[in-house]
Amino acid sequence: MKKIKPILPVLTVVAATVFSLHCSDSPSQPDQPPVVKDDPSFSADIQPIFNANCTSSSCHGSGASGGLVLLQGQAYANLVDVASIQDPSKKRVLPNNAENSYIVIKLEGRQTTGGRMPLGGSALASGHIQNIKNWINKGAKNN
């Protein structure tokens, strides 16, 4: 008769590994508030906000309605100095002027057309919005 090896020690090790990876103090944990930066980088700080909150729901992914694709490699050109389709009197991102940039107006819920972004989801963390505003106010550089 064949002996069956005890599986409990193996399961314990696997469970401990998964638990330690999931519960680490990693800054990528969703419950960690975002770090607000005075001069955020578009590629390192702003694009990841779009990736996590805007493109994953397909609202601003490859099949985006209204032409606002926020995928990496396309987002910057679709935002900076581009007129909003909902309010053509406003630029989506007006460098050095976050308060009048349509993206900030939509993120803060100050728009008169359409809904607050992200549509149908929770508002972005205030730290993410502040980083977007800081990036715009520092010239909306493609860095």
Residue in this structure with the two tokens 């939509």, named with its chain if needed: 106
108 domain-assigned: yes
Tell me the C-alpha distance between 109 and 116, whole Å.
5
The structural domain count of the chain equals 1
121 domain-assigned: yes
17 domain-assigned: no
109 domain-assigned: yes
**pLDDT score of 7:** 53
131 domain-assigned: yes
**Residue 105, number of CB atoms within 10 A of its CB:** 21
**pLDDT score of 17:** 38
Q: In terms of Cα–Cα distance, which of 126, 89, 91 is closest to 109?
A: 126
Range(s) of the domain holding residue 71: 36-137
| Confidence band of 56 (pLDDT split at 50, 70, 90) | confident
pLDDT in tens, 71-127: 999 999 999 999 999 999 999 999 999 999 999 999 999 999 889 999 888 999 999
**pLDDT score of 30:** 54
Q: In the predicted model, is pLDDT for residue 2 greater than 70?
A: no
143 domain-assigned: no
**pLDDT score of 20:** 35
- The stretch 27-51 carries a mean pLDDT of 87
Q: List all residues 6 or more positions away from 120 whose beta carbon is below 8 Å from its beta carbon.
A: 57
84 domain-assigned: yes
pTM, two decimals, is 0.76
